Amino acid sequence: MSAAPGTSTGADPIIVLDGVSKFFAGRGRGEASVARGVRAVDDVSLRIARGEVFGVVGYSGAGKSTLVRLINALERADAGTIDVDGRRVTELGERGLRDLRADIGMVFQQFNLFGARTVARNVEYPLRLAGWSRDRRRARVAELLEFVGLSDKARSYPAQLSGGQKQRVGIARALATSPHILLADEATSALDPETTRDVLDLLRRVNRELGVTIVVITHEMSVVQYVCHKVAVMEDGKVVEHGDVYQIFADPQTQATCRFIQTALKDRPAPDVVARLRERHPGRLVVVTLPDTGRGFDVTAFTTGLDARAAVVYGGVTEVGDRPFGSLTLELTGPQTEDAVTRLRDAAPVVDLGTAADPLDDARWVESIARKEGA
């Protein structure tokens, strides 16, 4: 298996959650209020390896923001244990937590910059907390602003910056004390697509150049696709699926995951698209999921020497976890179509849609369509 850059084997976990739960009580006291309250995080166990970018994806209310706040103990867990870099977070007191937090940077959806301070003084704040001398602070702030490309904005106030610039300041501030972990809570959700890309590129640099482990909280699968190595999908406080991003995209096991993937990938034809394709292309339609061969996918190989013709009629190829990912819908025609399909099946996962005259609905295909319909 070709590992994406920065991907760890998981042998060296920097964050370990074991059976972690967090309840938010409803109004009232005692048991009854717990019953009426919310299980924001429900028995979650995860291992996040040093140096990886780990995504947590879910709809709002799925508990992902609470989950990430348990890691730096902005919220305290009600059950289970959390270990960060060898420290048991769930047993730390106020003093120990402050030391821990100096080693975990955090960026927020709404940036949470200090409006009364200049950009430079925002970035300087954690250094003051850490007791750095004035000269060292000044040098470090200059270095950080250089890294995020905002050296010319040092004396500006946050209100004078664009959303993307604000988040870059937020990232610079979060990295000030050289933390080993960065928590990004919906860091790009308040940004437009282009700015989102800039901020995600910056996060990738933080991961690759500085070796910072990043936990990315998002509701956008495209963010996971772009920056993450591993991902956990959350629904109703539970992690319903987690693993390698490529694996999750290639072979989703739950409805929730399918719905998220569908938002990021548009390469598979929906039922109405299939109907139109059949009108235009009466031949045999097959959806081929591209295998990650490392050499690309030779579409001519399957018809060479056969009396058959393959035409690409739908699909798309993109990158997931730094590996090529996608599917092509082909129309196969000619007397030896069946042989071509057999060759395809040997090389890649194929979903056979049959021909316009004799339509075929592969069971898995029908199921995944049904999932999408439910979305």
Partner 1 sequence: MIVHATNEWTWDYDGPLLRQAIGETLQMVLAALVIGGIIGLVYGLALYSTRRGGLYQSRWAYGVLSFVVNLIRPIPFIIFLTAVRPATLAITGTTLGVQAAIFPMTVVTIVATARLVEQNLVSADPGVIEAARAMGASKVNALVRVLVPEALAPLILGYAFLFVGILDMSAVAGAVGAGGLGNFAIQYGYNRYNDVVTWVAVAVIIVLVQLAQMLGNTLARRVLHR
Q: Is the CA virtual torsion 137, 138, 140, 144 positive or negative?
A: positive
Q: Applying CB under 8 A, does 108 fall inside the site for partner 1?
A: yes
Could you tell me the CA-to-CA distances from 273 to 40, 318, 358, 368 in Å, in that order? 38, 20, 17, 14
Lookup: tokens for 273? 């698209």
Q: Applying CB under 8 A, does 129 fall inside the site for partner 1?
A: yes
DSSP letter (8 states) at residue 322:
T
Binding residues with partner 1: total (CB under 8 A): 32
Least separation in angstroms between residue 128's CB and partner 1 is 8
Least separation in angstroms between residue 287's CB and partner 1 is 45
Q: Applying CB under 8 A, does 125 fall inside the site for partner 1?
A: yes
CB atoms within 10 A of CB 62: 24
Contact string (CB under 8 A) for partner 1, positions 171-190, x = contact? --xx--x-----x-------
For partner 1, the binding residue among 12, 91, 99, 307 (CB under 8 A) is 99
Nearer to partner 1, 53 or 183 (CB): 183
Measured CA to CA, the distance from residue 367 to residue 4 in angstroms comes to 30
Contact 311, 295 (CB under 8 A): no
> In this structure, what is the dihedral angle of CA atoms 132, 135, 137, 138, given to the nearest 10 degrees?
170
Selected range binding partner 1 among 44-52, 111-119, 216-224, 279-287, rule: CB under 8 A: 111-119
Contact 222, 26 (CB under 8 A): no
Least separation in angstroms between residue 95's CB and partner 1 is 9
Q: Applying CB under 8 A, does 102 fall inside the site for partner 1?
A: yes
Q: Applying CB under 8 A, does 311 fall inside the site for partner 1?
A: no
Among candidate residues 222, 161, 157, the one with its CA nearest the CA of residue 188: 222
What are residue 364's phi and psi, to 5 degrees? -65, -35
Contact string (CB under 8 A) for partner 1, positions 52-71, x = contact? --------------------
The footprint of partner 1 on residues 133-162 (CB under 8 A) is 157-160
Which residues of the chain form contacts with partner 1 (CB under 8 A)? 72, 74, 94, 97-102, 104-106, 108, 110, 112-117, 125-126, 129-130, 157-160, 173-174, 177, 183
